[in-house]
A and B are shown apart, each in its own frame.
Chain A
Amino acid sequence: MSDAARLPLRLFGLAAGELPPFDLEVAPGEVVAISGASGSGKSRLLRALADLDPHEGRVLLGEAAADAMPAHVWRRRVMLVPAESQWWHDAVGAHFEAEPFDDLEVLGLPRDALGWSVGRLSSGEKQRLALIRALSRDPGALLLDEPTANLDDESVERVESWLLQRIRGRGLPTLWVAHDRAQIERVADLQLRIGPGGAELVR
């Protein structure tokens, strides 16, 4: 869906859960890190952007508003990758529409990982495969909920640089929920802090 690429993600008066309404524009290829204590509503914010929970306010990708298209079309463009990925077929490959061999290699997974059964995946393998699965569907914007939570240091580095390369290369506006200060330093252009007073943008 190259027509959806290189467009900004724009939020107007978005209010999810207890979070007071706020505006935000994420430019193509820009990463906004979302930080805040657990339970502050970071995941709920991402769910609202993917239109998985009822919410106030408008979200647009470029000029196209979420409510102007069927919800599944919106979610394919503005793709949420949850902290815990789910796998419902027996074979890993059955969850993929394409065969993203290059991405597997970059993230340190063998080519035949697509032939594996889901039961033998470790949590780190699941996390990497879930990111590849989402990006291989060619979204126009990314919502990442702690994308490196289950990974060892070496894999964290690989995944970060692979993600940044994709985000910049395809011009994907990205919201990235992160706990680790060092990671925020490494990947984020801007930081959205969620506190008791609401969402606050920090440069």
Chain B
Amino acid sequence: MSVIELSYGELALASLLVLALGVVTALARLGMTRSLLVAALRTVVQLALIGLVLETLFSLEGPWWVGLMGLIMLLAAGREVMARQKHRLTGGWAFGIGTSAMFVSAFSVTVLTLVVVIGPEPWYRPQYAIPLLGMLLGNTMTGVALGLDRLTEGVWRQRAMIENRLMLGEPWREAIGELRRDATRSGLIPIVNAMAAAGIVSLPGMMTGQILAGSPPALAVKYQILIMFTVAAGTGFGTLAAVSAASRRLFDERERLRVDRLAAGGG
């Protein structure tokens, strides 16, 4: 089965669809024609750039280059996790906790999957390592960001409740227990829903791309299942680690709730 080559002219044809949508949104005065077109342009530029980066990376094949790429992806994800929390921990803790949780879970699951399950030669071969790490980091980032945001927001709103529980002599783990479980749950819900709906409601993007690019559906399905499992594990362990570290940081050595360690969140 050969892949039908996609020419730039054909892509330009597809872009007419977006332009048509732009004309309609302009006529309907939705006030978002501009952002639609800018977003479409960004897709083209950003994906073209990452295409160049990946082409270079695949030709270099060095472990250090793969590691450097992984590091950049991790730091970008850490920044994103921090930016998505309104009442984040101050003093670098929001970035630190989010990034370490993603490092521990996404990187170890990626390495484990590469070495034990897929087994390319060498194990860090960028064609496998980079997309896998990207899928894992992207999803783990969503889970960690949702979990941490829910936790810090909950503590900010319900600090009087937590302190009243402390006054009654509850240990800190008990006083924050429900908030912590809620936060972890909200980080896990997206991947659980994605696994439950996969194939029935939606065809996962990665699998669709693989089939379009010429893979037999049975193989694409196997890879998709592998991705789902690793993403579930990465997201789950990452969210658990981040929420538990952040909960600990919200109390000091005398089990006092330290709301002063959270940003006030003006906007």
Contacts and interface: CB of A to CB of B under 8 A. Distances in A.
A133 interface: yes
Contacts of A201: none
Interface in A72-89: 72-73, 75-77, 79-82, 84-86, 88
Contact of A52 (B167, B171, B178): B167
Contacts of A137: 168-169
B168 A71 contact: no
A75 B251 CA distance: 15
Contacts of A76: 168-169
Given A86-B161, A88-B161, A88-B178, A72 B166 contact: yes
Interface in A94-138: 133-134, 137
Contact of A79 (B165, B168, B257): B168
Contacts of B257: 52
A72 B255 contact: yes
B164 interface: yes
A167 interface: no
Contacts of A70: 171, 255
Given A84-B160, A86-B160, A88-B178, A53 B256 contact: yes
Contact of B164 (A51, A67, A71, A85): A85
A71 B175 CA distance: 13
Contacts of B165: 86, 88
A50 interface: yes
B169 A80 contact: no
A51 B256 contact: yes
Nearest to A1: B169
A81 B161 CA distance: 12
B170 interface: yes
Contacts of A72: 166, 169-172, 255
B168 A133 contact: yes
Nearest to A73: B169
Nearest to A51: B254
Given A52-B256, A54-B256, A75 B161 contact: no
Contacts of A53: 256
Contacts of A80: 167
A73 B166 CA distance: 10
Interface in B130-175: 158, 160-161, 163-172
Contacts of B166: 52, 71-72, 75
Contacts of B256: 51-54, 71
B167 A79 contact: yes
Nearest to B159: A86
Nearest to B251: A71
Contact of B163 (A52, A54, A73, A134): A52
Contacts of B161: 86, 88
Interface string B223-267: 000000000000000000000000000001011110000000000
Nearest to B173: A72
Interface string B158-202: 101101111111111000001000000000000000000000000
Contact of B167 (A50, A73, A88): A50
Highest count of chain A CB atoms <10 Å: which of B160, B163, B164, B170: B164
Nearest to A85: B164
A157 B199 CA distance: 68
Contacts of A52: 163, 166-167, 256-257
| 9 A-B pairs closest in CB distance | A76-B169, A86-B164, A71-B255, A86-B161, A71-B254, A72-B171, A80-B167, A75-B169, A88-B161
8 contacts: A52-B256, A54-B252, A54-B254, A71-B166, A72-B170, A75-B169, A81-B167, A85-B164
Interface of A: 50-54, 67, 70-73, 75-77, 79-82, 84-86, 88, 133-134, 137
Interface of B: 158, 160-161, 163-172, 178, 252, 254-257
